[in-house]
Structure 1
Amino acid sequence: MRGNINKEGLITIFLFVTLLFSPFYYGCDKSGGINDIDNNDTTDIAEKSNLAKSKGNSIQIDPFALYSLGITPGQLIADLKKANIKYVHYFVVNYWNGGKNDDLFKKEYLDALEENGIGVWLMLLGNCFYGKTTFPKEWEMEFLTPYPEEISFYSFHNDEYVNWQVMRVKTILRNYNFVGIEFAESYFPEWRTIYTNGFYGDVSLYARRKFTRQYLGLVDEEPLSFDAIRNDPEIYKKWQDFRSDAVVNFNQKIKEAIKSINPKTLFASWGMGIRNGSLEEIREHFGLDMERIVKEVKPDIFYIQTAAQDWGDPGLEPDYLLAYSYIVDALKKAAPDVPLGIQTDIASLSFHDQSVEKRDGNWWTTFMNTSLSNGYYTNTAYEYSFYKQQGLWVE
Structure 2
Amino acid sequence: MANPFKPGAGRKPPYLAGRDDIIRSIKNDMKQVYEDAEGMRPIVISGLRGMGKTVLLRELAETAHHQDWIAIEVEASKHDSLAKKLAQATYVELRRIRNSSRPLSSAFEHALAVLRSFQLKIDPTGSYSIGIDINPAKGFADSGDLSLDLVDLLKAVGEAARESGTAVFISVDEFQEAPQEDLAALNIALHTLGQGSAPVPVYFVGAGLPTLPAVLADATSYAERMFRFYSLNLLSEEAVRKAYVEPTEKNMIKWENESLEAAIQAAGGYPYFIQQCGFCICEQIDFPGTITKSELLAGIALAQDEIDRGLYRSRWDRATPKGKEMMRAMAEDEVPSKLSDVADRMGKKQPSDLSVLRDRLIHDGLIYSPKRGYIAFTVPGMNAFIKRCSD
TM-score normalised by length of structure 2 = 0.23
The structure with the largest helix share of the pair is: 2
